[in-house]
Every structure is written in structure tokens, then in C-alpha cells.
Chains A and B, each alone.
Chain A
């Protein structure tokens, strides 16, 4: 007996009317943000968008395909610098964005090729080396502005009739939504299934007809594409790029974002991107939290050193990473699913 006759229900974006309604409400809220909040908060949301996009891509590689990348900042840098050069040359934004994504994608495919037979620490060191190499090469080459970096001109957004900041906000939001849908489709299509198959057992994947070379390379390329788009937006957001931005630390933080959000899930990438951005911006303000903040100030004054208190950010990020792995391996997505289940059953 078949309970589900219409299989399309399992494919479509919104599985229930309720989820459609909630999504529309959420979109409405996003639409209204520029009219409610100050410009500063718009730039916070923009930063979230960047992190979400990169996390979506990295999650496909790490969470779905089970490969490790410690060099994703390299792809972001490639996207950002491509965008910077193209925008300086006056190429329209839409093309810039796509080209930045594609250049990064191509490099991703190239990095994917030598990585096909590698796993675990071997893959980790190759990606890590890649990230560092990109940083060094960009920093030493004249055409990329060397250590000083490149300035990026503002793009033309006058067509909207709104202020630059508001329009930029909408541009970021729309791109992020499109990228989220793209990631969702990849994961739920046969391509995503093949990725997950490789993660679970590459031997079984190959005997079910999955071409390992093709799909591993594809996974790197797709992931790099997302990072490239994220990088292009990064260039637009900061208005200047320097090689120092795209450090090993950035790669580590991206990995942290994905783990915090929840491996292998689109919701996880989105939640991770949002929360990690907030943490990065707000962790230094932890001293203003009652009790906990006081404790930290007290520690600072007694055992530690008050002038180094900004480093509390790394301490807390590190703690969060460890606690997530130890107590909530499915990350924020796991917590989210539990809340949803609870509300579905409420009030029972």
C-alpha cells in the first residue's frame, strides 16, 4: 500500500502550506528591515548574507560530500579580487558577480583534481596550503595591489530610487535567497545524493555508478562557486580588499560557521552564518552582559590582562566549537529541529 501518491510533494520547496506562509512572513520582514532599523543594522545583515553564502557552499563540500577544506578563504579571496578588478574596469555588477563565481569555481575544480585520492589530514594540508598560497601570491603581486590591497568603486544603484545602502541591502538579500535555493536544489537532487553517497561510502558510490572523479571535482567546484560569489559581495561590502583579510583564521571561522550551524543542512548553513556573524560582532561586548561580563572583567583585572580583553572573542569561539561537537553534533539545525518537533506536538 502506498501512502504517498504524489511524490512531487517531497521535491517542492515548501512541503506544507504552513512553511510557505512562514517563509512569506519572513521575507516580508526582510523587506521591511530597511524601513525599521538604522543603516548600521543593514550592514550587519549584509555581513550575515556573505557568511551565509560561503557557509552554504562550504557545507556542500564538508557536510554533504565529507571532504575537508581548511582553505576556503582562498576561494573567497579569488572571488573578491576578481570582483575588485572587474568593477574597477567598469564591468557591470551582474557580470562581475557571475564571473567572480566562475573564476573561483574553476580554481576549485583544479584544486579538486589533485585532491581526488586524498583524504583526512592529507586533504586538510593541501587545502590549508592552498589558502595560504592564495594569500601570499595576492599579497606579492602588483596587479592585486600587493599588501595595500585594492579599492572598489561603488556600483551604480541609482535605478532603484532608494538610498545606496538600502538598495545594496536588497541586492544582498536577493542574491542570498537565490543562492540558498540553489544550495537546496543541489542537495536534494541526484547531484546532492551522489555527494552524500561519496561521504558515506565511496566504494558503494562507485559501484552504484557514481563517477567519483566527476562528483568530487564537482563538489569542490560548486563549493568554490559559492565562495567566489561570497567574495565578490565581500569586496562590495568592504569597498576595499587586502590579502590579510583572507587568512587561515578566516578559513577556520568558516569551518566553525558550518559546524555551528549543522553539517549537511541548508538550514544549518543559514543559521550558522547568521549566528556566527552576530558572535563575531558582539563577542567583544560580552563584558556588558550582567554577571558573566562582570566575571570576565574581574578575571581580566586579577589573573589576566585588561588590555588583552578583545581576545575573549577567540576564547568564546573556541569554547563554542568544542561544546557544539561534544554536546550538539547536529549544531543549531539540530536544536531548531527539536524546537519544531516540540511545537508540532504542542500543547501535548
Chain B
């Protein structure tokens, strides 16, 4: 079953077309990778999907519902969460607070109920405790216990990446968009990341779309791969097929010298 369908989206920035008439569909429960050289428009695709950019034309539907042009917070509420290429964390807040923000949408109490926040049996306090438990589950899942109460700007880069992943997971999304999850990680951390991504799909059943440059990671985790260049689809298929495809090789290495 197709959970995310992108149809003919176009996005340009003042004369430069970043994405040109791109279509693809992601099935429920798969790990779908998007590859392509720098500037191919990969991140722009993500930004269009989760509403940071509004595509010039084309439609994006999620779970059968048209989400094109909705605000990012609406799309997040609908069940799409993401991480960023260069980390967008709440850097002065602690790991726990970052994860609790991932629970923001699910934390249901009104501004009036907040007033009774200090009483153990109030709705607000019960909600806070419930969401805290959920956040602690994520901490446990990603083994973030040592960093729970530290402000995230003070954490090593690799851990910050995990916190961002944790925040996205805490949202209990149906689909997770990972923008270069292995960028900036060393070999060991990269292996861990592969392990987490597989775990998230296998244990939590979350559909994952990954943008990645590291071919090892792409090979290890992907069910299907989409290669794009200049915002257009080059080829889509299994890992082996895509990586062997001449157009993909040319996109990465350039035209063979004659």
C-alpha cells in the first residue's frame, strides 16, 4: 500500500529549478532512499513534503489525503516527522525537553487546564506524566540515558544526531524523513545509525525515507532507491539496479572522457 505519493512536483527559486516534475511513491513499511549528487534537489523534496516549501505545482498525498501546501505543523500532526541535514535542535534545552517537544502534538491539555498543572490529579499533570513516560521510552530505545538532562548544545555531534532522531521518533510518526542521517558520523556511529534505522522500521513499523550520500548505508538499509539529478528522476528500483545504472554513474562521475 502506498502511504506517500508525490506527483509531478515542481519547485523553483527565482529562475533556478530545484525540482522538476518529480514523481515517486513510498509503500508502507519500506525503507526508501533518495540519492543524487550535491544540489540535485533532494532536500528540496523533503522541504516540500513537510511543508517548509510550497511546491509550485504538483501534489503530495499522504495516506490518501492531499497535504500539498499545508503548514509544517499541520503536516507534522498528520504523521510525518523528519530530521535535518545540519541539525535543527532546540539547542539550549535538554535532551528530555527536546523529546518532550516531539510529544507536543500528543500533549492534549488546554491553556486553562495548565493552570492546575501543580496538582497531581489534574488533567495537565497526568498528561505531562504520560508524555514523560513516552519520552523516556524513546530515551531507553536510543540509549540516551546519560544525556537526559544535559542541554543538547553541549553534546557530541553524534549524540545530537540521535537526539534529533529521538525527537522525530517521539512524535510516533507514520513516516519518518531522514535527511543525511550519517553525515558527519564516524564509522562506528554510522554502523549504529544503520542499526537504529533498521530497528525503527522492524520494531516500530515506521516507514522511512532517507536521503544519503553514503552508499554503504544506502546498500545496507534500502528496500528501494530513487536516484535524481537536476531535480529529475534518473532511475528508481532495487539498490543493485540503481547503483549499476549508467545514468546514475554519469551523474556522480560525469561523462566518460572520449
Contacts and interface: CB of A to CB of B under 8 A. Distances in A.
Interface of A: 1-2, 7-8, 10-13, 181-182, 185-186, 188-191, 193-194, 196-197, 199-201, 203-212, 218
B128 A189 contact: yes
A203 B88 contact: yes
Given A7-B128, A7-B133, A210 B88 contact: no
A262 B125 CA distance: 27
A200 B117 contact: no
Nearest to A192: B114
Given A200-B93, A201-B91, A208-B167, A11 B118 contact: yes
A207 B114 contact: no
B50 A207 contact: yes
Interface in B164-178: 167, 171
Interface stretch (B4-12, B104-112, B218-226): B104-112
A206 B101 contact: no
Contacts, number: 116
A234 to B, nearest CB: 24
A193 B89 contact: no
23 contacts: A7-B128, A7-B129, A7-B136, A11-B128, A12-B118, A185-B115, A185-B118, A189-B109, A189-B114, A189-B117, A190-B114, A200-B89, A204-B84, A204-B167, A205-B90, A205-B101, A206-B51, A206-B71, A206-B72, A206-B76, A207-B51, A207-B75, A208-B104
B33 interface: no
Contacts of B81: 207-208
B27 interface: no
Contact of A8 (B82, B115, B125, B145): B125
Given A196-B90, A206-B73, A208-B167, 19 more contacts: A7-B132, A7-B136, A12-B118, A12-B120, A185-B118, A189-B117, A191-B111, A193-B97, A197-B90, A200-B89, A200-B91, A200-B93, A201-B91, A204-B89, A207-B76, A209-B76, A209-B104, A209-B171, A218-B111
Contact of B101 (A10, A181, A193, A218): A193
B52 interface: yes
A211 B117 contact: no
A196 B92 contact: yes
A30 to B, nearest CB: 20
Nearest to B50: A207
A211 to B, nearest CB: 5
B100 interface: yes
B124 interface: yes
A8 B72 contact: no
B77 to A, nearest CB: 5
Contacts of A200: 89-93
A207 B117 contact: no
Contacts of A12: 118, 120
Contacts of B101: 193-194, 197, 205, 208, 210
B36 interface: no
A204 B90 contact: yes
A201 B128 CA distance: 23
A329 to B, nearest CB: 12
B102 interface: yes
A234 B208 CA distance: 57
A203 B51 CA distance: 11
A201 B76 contact: no
Nearest to B109: A190
A13 B76 contact: no
Contacts of B102: 208
B128 to A, nearest CB: 5
Contacts of B100: 190, 193
A190 B93 contact: no
A218 B112 CA distance: 13
Interface in B126-153: 128-129, 131-133, 136, 140, 145
A190 B104 contact: yes
B104 to A, nearest CB: 5
Nearest to A4: B136
In this complex, the member of B52, B72, B81, B124 whose beta carbon has the largest number of chain A beta carbons within 10 angstroms is B72
A267 B224 CA distance: 54
Nearest to A199: B92
